[in-house]
Amino acid sequence: MTRTQPQPQPRPDTNCRPLRVAVVGATGAVGQEFLRVLHHRGFPIAELRLLASARSAGTEMQFAGQPCRVEELTADSFSGIDLALFSAGGAISKQFAPAAVEAGAVVVDNSSCFRMTEGVPLVVPEVNPEAIAAAGIGFGDGLRPGIIANPNCSTILMLVAVTPLHRAAGVKRMVVSTYQAASGAGAAAMRELEQQTREALDPANNGQVLTKDIFPFQYAFNLFSHNSPMEPNGYNQEEMKMVRETHKIWGDAEPAAITATCVRVPVMRAHAESINLTFERPLTEERARAILADAPGVALIDDRDANVFPTPLDASHRDDIFVGRIRQDISRPDGTSLDLFLCGDQVRKGAALNAVQIAELL
């Protein structure tokens, strides 16, 4: 059995010039994670500028044990900045990312604003790092400032696990059901889940929850179809992101057929996905397991004897995507289909880590 060679995990080049870095949306769940990831990976920083709304300006945050004051985001915030990491929602990206590029910065944008824009590379470092060079974006000679888009969290998690199998046997069709954590809707949604759960457990409330600021219905001990707006075809935007972004990232002449059902579950910060794959060519579960054991960014958690498989809690605060339940799909006896189940930290690999890994590729 031939194993695919592991691809080197992009790591900071310690010889590279330290960068002047801005973090836009520094006080949010992903913004805070940016600071942790930049610090833990030893990202070469000459200057760090934390930017947020006027409401959050003046807040003192910590970076590498040093206090760092949040400034108000304005069109002038990017003067002298090399790299701007955006995670403050699509409207902020739309308004300020062009200004950052104008000021000479490379933007890594975590919003969906520019993901499908022609000329904007949409990158998962383990999957399509070459897309950045192809777009001519970077810091060196002959390279230009520009926007690089960070894909949707559910797309990132899925593609880290599925792409190595796609390369081996050609994914023809994917049926995905997600189990998405509160963090995908931001820090306020995580607080609401916690608050609602306290209320649901309080005998004085008779099982009712009182706080419904973020979601219009009960989230505690409940789940619901993903709250993104519906498209005319009956899929919600989260589901269509998984379809369209995968097509752009893989860039295949004949795109894989994909259907997704996205569901929010009462879990804090790691998403799970149940994925059924149909391939062009047969792929045994043994070969799939060997491929994934060597795949960058993947941790294989697939112990049938002990009934130990990926859980969101185990995957929380971890860089790797946990993959397990890899099995030959009995509904296709010709060996062309597999099922698998994965969990990945939505805030880390689903957002902040992936963006910093993109910056490391520069």
Catalytic residues: 153, 271
User: In this chain, which of 12, 99, 194, 247 binds its own copies, going by CB under 8 A?
Assistant: 194
Site for its own copies in 262-321 (CB under 8 A): 263, 265-268, 272, 274, 276, 285, 304-305, 307, 309, 311-313
Residue 284 CB neighbours (<10 A): 13
User: In this chain, which of 243, 283, 291, 295 binds its own copies, going by CB under 8 A?
Assistant: 243
Q: Do strands 257-261 and 146-149 pair parallel, antiparallel, or not at all (unpaired)?
A: unpaired
- Counting contacts by CB under 8 A, is residue 322 touching its own copies? no
Closer CB to its own copies, 167 or 289, in the complex: 289
User: In this chain, which of 111, 152, 196, 328 binds its own copies, going by CB under 8 A?
Assistant: 328
Report d(CA 198, CA 209) in Å as an integer: 8
Report d(CA 185, CA 181) in Å as an integer: 8
Closer CB to its own copies, 84 or 283, in the complex: 283
Closer CB to its own copies, 144 or 212, in the complex: 212
Question: What does the DSSP assignment read for 96-157?
Answer: HHHHHHHTTPEEEE-SSTTTTSTT--B--TTT-THHHHHHTBSSSTT-B-EEEEPPPHHHHH
Candidate ranges 4-12, 97-105, 215-223, 344-352; the one touching its own copies (CB under 8 A): 215-223
Q: How many residues does the chain have?
A: 362
Report d(CA 308, CA 303) in Å as an integer: 5
Report yes or no: 47 and 20 within 8 Å, Cβ to Cβ: yes
Report d(CA 351, CA 340) in Å as an integer: 22
Smallest gap from Cβ 182 to its own copies, in A, equals 9
- Counting contacts by CB under 8 A, is residue 234 touching its own copies? yes
Question: What does the DSSP assignment read for 162-211?
Answer: HHHHHHHH-EEEEEEEEEB-GGGG-HHHHHHHHHHHHHHH-GGGTT----
Question: By CB under 8 A, how many residues form the interface with its own copies?
Answer: 57
Site for its own copies in 163-192 (CB under 8 A): 173-175, 177, 179
Handedness of CA 45, 125, 9, 277 (dihedral sign): positive
Smallest gap from Cβ 34 to its own copies, in A, equals 22
Q: Contact residues for its own copies (CB under 8 A)?
A: 173-175, 177, 179, 193-194, 197-198, 201, 217-218, 221-225, 227, 229-230, 233-236, 243, 257-259, 261, 263, 265-268, 272, 274, 276, 285, 304-305, 307, 309, 311-313, 324-332, 337, 339, 341
